[in-house]
Amino acid sequence: MSTIQAPKGTYDLLPPDSAVFLAVREAIAAPARRAGYGYVETPGFEHVELFSRGVGESTDIVTKEMYTLTTKGGTQLALRPEGTASVLRAALEGSLHRAGNLPVKLWYSGSYYRYEAPQAGRYRHFSQVGAEALGAEDPMLDAELIILAADAYRALGLRNVRLLLNSLGDRACRPVYRAALQDFLRGLDLDEDTRRRIEINPLRVLDDKRESVQRQLAGAPLITDHLCEACKAYHEQVREQLAAAGVAYEDDPRLVRGLDYYTRTTFEFVHGGLGSQSAVGGGGRYDGLSEMIGGPSLPSVGWALGVDRTVLALRAEGVELPLPAGTDVFAVPLGEEARRTLFAVVTELRRAGVAADFAFGGKGVKNAMKSANRSGARFTLVAGDRDLADAVVQVKDMESGEQTAVPLDGIVAAVKELLA
């Protein structure tokens, strides 16, 4: 074992588990791609201001969890703790919003970093797939994104994912609720850090997971009782579209999530089999974020779904994904001439789209066949001097054990036919 290990709170993805993570990423991204979302990739680090201004200076992410560094030139950078602010920054910098074709619909996948206490389902390095729709204020767009996420979970075979839904209001009605919530919170027995948060962003207090705080929030005013008529109508249209699409949801008037930029629609997907880290994904509308980071008014909505926690949810339900075989054909040469011949065959098979591997290292037949079994190959190609003299290759079906001699010059076509 190496004397240098992965940093605390991180993990390595290694075969065969890595195949499951790849399958989950693909399943989450597939509905978004079908809905016209184009791929975007952003740097792993950004200027600190992007997150302090966008995510919010009062959030735990910015105050406690963000990895920051100072370059030799004195620039303050941060490893990205979330994806939305980076994607919006990239779209603004690339002037995608000026093309006249709004909304700009983007999806992304990558690793994110937060300094948290490591536990099952909570890592300091984690993987997400996200989707963002920039530049349109339309309840059907909110519904579209929620439906795409729900369809991704359904395609993976998850049955116990629940959707929690709320509205956080807008610039017209949230200040009234904010004042009412502050009045209530000031009367509670809270520590100094939490009291400071009341004055900066009182909604963050509702997101406090400590039992001592949650007990005191039982009588807190609800945002749903303070929504203006426009926000009520908007939220009702989102709910109607979800119901029409057959997406079940639960109204949760206390759902605020951990970021300051959300407005109106807010949602979270949770799974009961993950313990305290039950959220597997979520998102919402963030109509003011563009202006927070120095851009124009650009109403937007999006989500991020956790790959790590989705894998844990699959394991909790005992769902095994149908994974593609890593190897369809494994070549076992007997002798030096066969090594050269079968290596050329393997190269030709790969170029023809067949997943093929080779018994490297001059293994004997017994060890080579063990390698073929471990690879999961459906067929092995075996050839020795006598086969080559007859210009044939022995094709062995690894399930039935049947073996057939196939002409060398037709081996690629024959293998493709067998696999089909």
Q: How many secondary structure helices (H) and strands (E) does the chain include?
A: 16, 16
β-pairing verdict for 161-167 and 263-271? antiparallel
Structure token digits, residue 5: 């290990």
Give CA–CA dist 49/47, Å, rounded.
Answer: 5
Give CA–CA dist 151/172, Å, rounded.
Answer: 33
Structure token digits, residue 277: 């880290």
Say which residues have a Cβ less than 8 Å from residue 197's Cβ, sequence separation at least 6: 58, 204, 205
DSSP state of 122: B
Structure token digits, residue 223: 């945002």
Give CA–CA dist 368/378, Å, rounded.
Answer: 15
- Measured in degrees and rounded to the nearest 5, phi and psi for residue 211 equal -60, -35
Please give the chain's pLDDT, 420 residues, in tens.
Answer: 568 999 999 999 998 889 999 999 999 999 999 999 999 999 999 999 999 887 766 566 677 789 999 999 999 999 999 999 999 999 999 999 987 789 999 999 999 999 988 877 788 999 999 999 999 999 999 999 999 999 999 999 999 999 999 999 998 898 888 899 899 999 898 888 888 888 887 887 887 778 888 899 888 998 889 999 999 999 999 999 999 999 999 999 888 876 667 889 999 999 988 877 789 999 999 998 999 999 999 999 999 999 999 999 999 999 999 887 789 999 999 999 999 999 999 999 999 999 999 999 887 889 999 998 888 899 999 999 999 999 999 999 999 999 999 999 999 999 999 998
Has residue 209 been placed in a domain?
Answer: no
Give CA–CA dist 64/72, Å, rounded.
Answer: 24
375, 327 Cβ separation under 8 angstroms: yes
Q: Are residues 45 and 83 in the same domain?
A: yes
Has residue 220 been placed in a domain?
Answer: no
Has residue 178 been placed in a domain?
Answer: no
Q: Are residues 270 and 291 in the same domain?
A: yes
Has residue 183 been placed in a domain?
Answer: no
- Measured in degrees and rounded to the nearest 5, phi and psi for residue 282 equal 175, 180
Q: Domain holding 353: CATH number?
A: 3.40.50.800
Give CA–CA dist 131/304, Å, rounded.
Answer: 7
Q: Which of 256, 284, 317 is the last residue of a domain?
A: 317
Q: Of 124, 122, 125, which is closest to residue 110 (Cα–Cα)? A: 125
Q: Are residues 126 and 66 in the same domain?
A: yes
Has residue 213 been placed in a domain?
Answer: no
Has residue 185 been placed in a domain?
Answer: no
Q: Are residues 308 and 336 in the same domain?
A: no
Residue entry with tokens 């009367």:
187
Q: Are residues 278 and 337 in the same domain?
A: no
Q: Are residues 243 and 281 in the same domain?
A: yes
Provide the whole-model pTM.
0.89
Q: Which of 254, 284, 317 is the last residue of a domain?
A: 317
Has residue 378 been placed in a domain?
Answer: yes
Q: Are residues 238 and 343 in the same domain?
A: no
Q: Are residues 313 and 411 in the same domain?
A: no
- DSSP helix/strand/coil, 390: coil
Length of the chain: 420
How many structural domains does the chain have? Answer: 2
Has residue 165 been placed in a domain?
Answer: yes
Q: Are residues 117 and 256 in the same domain?
A: yes
348, 297 Cβ separation under 8 angstroms: no
Q: Domain holding 121: CATH number?
A: 3.30.930.10
CA 355, chain centre distance (Å): 27
Cα–Cα–Cα angle for 368, 371, 373, nearest 5°? 115
Q: Are residues 304 and 352 in the same domain?
A: no
Q: Which of 317, 346, 369 is the last residue of a domain?
A: 317
Q: Are residues 70 and 97 in the same domain?
A: yes
Q: Are residues 267 and 337 in the same domain?
A: no
Domain that holds residue 158: 17-173+227-317
